[in-house]
A and B are shown apart, each in its own frame.
Chain A
C-alpha cells in the first residue's frame, strides 16, 4: 500500500514529512474552497476528476454544488463505480450539501434517473428548505466539536429525513431536523463549513483520514 510507504517517510525531525493526501471531487461546485481549508490544515490536496486521480489519496471531500450535475458527470466519466468501491473499502469521505446527497443511500426529490454513491445509511431530501429565498445562516450546537456553536450556512440545502441504524446524527436544527451525520469514516453536512472559516469539521474529518492512513 502506498499509504504505508508514505506514512513511514519521515523528515529530519522524525515527523511525517507530509500531511495526509486528500482529494477533492472537482466535477462542479465549490471545490476550491474545500481545497483551501484542507491545505491550511496541513493536508496535501489534489483535485479529482478522473478515476486515475483516486489512486493514492487517503481521503476525499465531495463539495457543495449541484448534486444532479455531479452525479451525471461522475457516471459519464467513469468515476461513480471506483468511488463506490473506495467508499466500501473504507475511504474516509466528507460531503457538504450536494456531497451529503451523493453519500446518502436514499435521496428524495432527486431528478429523474439521479443516482447517489451511497454509503451513509440515511434518507436525505434534496432542496428541503425550498428556493433560495429560504436559504439561511444560523448557529448550531454540536457537542462533538466542542462548546462553541458552529455557524452554519444552508444554501438550497438538503436535510436528513431519517437516520438508519448504522449512522449517527451529529447536529440538528431547533425543529429537530438532522443536518449533520457520520457513519464510520463517512461524514456529511447539509451546510457549508468551507465558506464560513469554520474548520472544525475539516479537522474532525482529517482525524479520520490520519487514523486510517497511520493505524
Chain B
C-alpha cells in the first residue's frame, strides 16, 4: 500500500510554484471573480472589502463571510485564497474548513494578536504571509508560511512601499550571499531568524519559498517593474476593481506580468485602460494608518 500525503511542505510550497509569473487579484463578489478568471488571473483573493475601502471606511476588518467565500469558490476554477487576521488561528481554521486553496495571514485586516502569529505548521491548507524585509520573511517561513508576499502599502495605489520592500529583501539576500559562515551566525541574530534558514538563503541566493509582491500595484508598468525587481508574481488588490475599466486593466496587468521585460508589450497593453485608481500617497498617511507596520 503506497502512502499518500496531503499538506506536506512540498505540496504547500508547490502550489505557489505553479502560480509564478501570474497575477492574483482581490475580488469582493462572484462577478468580480469571474472577471478576474476571464482576464487571466492565476488565483483570486476573496474579500469583503478591498484594502482601499477598508482604509476609507475604517473599523475592524475581519475574515470574510463564509457565504461570500463559498460563492466565489463556486464561481471560478482557479485557486481561491482568503484572508485571516494576524494571529487569528480560529479564522484560519474556518478558512481551512471552507476548503480555500491558500490562507493569507494578512496585515490588511485588523490584527487579532499583537504578539503571536498563527502556527501555520498546524494546518493542511498552505499560508501566504506579508513581509517588509528578509528577517520578517524568514520568521514567517519558520512559522510555516509556504509563500511570502512583500507587503507594500495596500489600498493606496502608491507602489513606492512595494518597491522598498522587494528591494530591501533582495539586497539583504545579496548581503548574505557574500558572507562567510561565521558572519552568518551574527546575521541570523541580527535578522532575528533561525540560522538554518539564513544559511539556506546564503547558499541558494533566494528565499526557500516563492516571493510575490503586493501593495499599491495599480498599472501594467507597476506589475512589470516588480517582476524586473525579482518578484515571482504580483498581487493586485484595489488597483483593478477601483479603476475605470476593470476588465481591460486586469487583462493588461496579466500580459505585462508575462512580458515584464518587453517595454513594447507594456506600452501596447497600457493604452486605453481608462482611469487608474485615484490613490493616496503613502507619505500623506499618518503612521497609525500604515498597514505594512502591522506584523513583526
Which A residues contact B (CB, under 8 angstroms)? 26-33, 49, 64-66, 68-69, 72-73, 76-77, 97-98, 109-112, 126-127, 130-140, 149, 153, 155-156, 174, 192, 195-196
Contact = CB atoms under 8 A, between A and B. Distances in A.
Given A132-B79, A137-B5, A65 B22 contact: yes
B14 A135 contact: yes
Nearest to B232: A32
Contact of A29 (B1, B21, B43, B100): B21
Interface string B1-41: 11111111011101101111110000000000000011011
B67 to A, nearest CB: 17
Given A76-B255, A156-B79, A137 B4 contact: yes
B18 A98 contact: yes
Interface string B65-97: 000000001001111000000000000000010
B37 A31 contact: no
B5 A136 contact: yes
Given A64-B17, A196-B10, A136 B99 contact: no
B101 interface: yes
Chain B interface residue bracket vs A: 35 or more
Given A134-B6, A137-B4, A69 B22 contact: yes
A133 B258 contact: no
Nearest to A114: B77
B22 A132 contact: no
B142 interface: no
B7 A69 contact: no
Contact of A27 (B3, B37, B41, B258): B258
28 contacts: A26-B21, A28-B258, A29-B18, A30-B18, A49-B258, A64-B17, A65-B42, A66-B43, A68-B77, A72-B254, A110-B77, A111-B38, A126-B77, A130-B99, A131-B79, A131-B99, A132-B11, A132-B126, A133-B96, A133-B99, A133-B125, A135-B14, A137-B11, A138-B3, A149-B2, A155-B14, A155-B18, A156-B101
B170 interface: no
Contacts of A174: 1-2
A68 B10 contact: no
B259 interface: yes
A160 B72 CA distance: 27
Contact of B40 (A69, A131, A139): A69
Given A28-B42, A29-B20, A126-B77, 15 more contacts: A29-B18, A69-B22, A73-B255, A77-B259, A110-B77, A112-B38, A131-B99, A132-B79, A132-B100, A133-B125, A136-B5, A137-B5, A156-B15, A192-B14, A195-B14
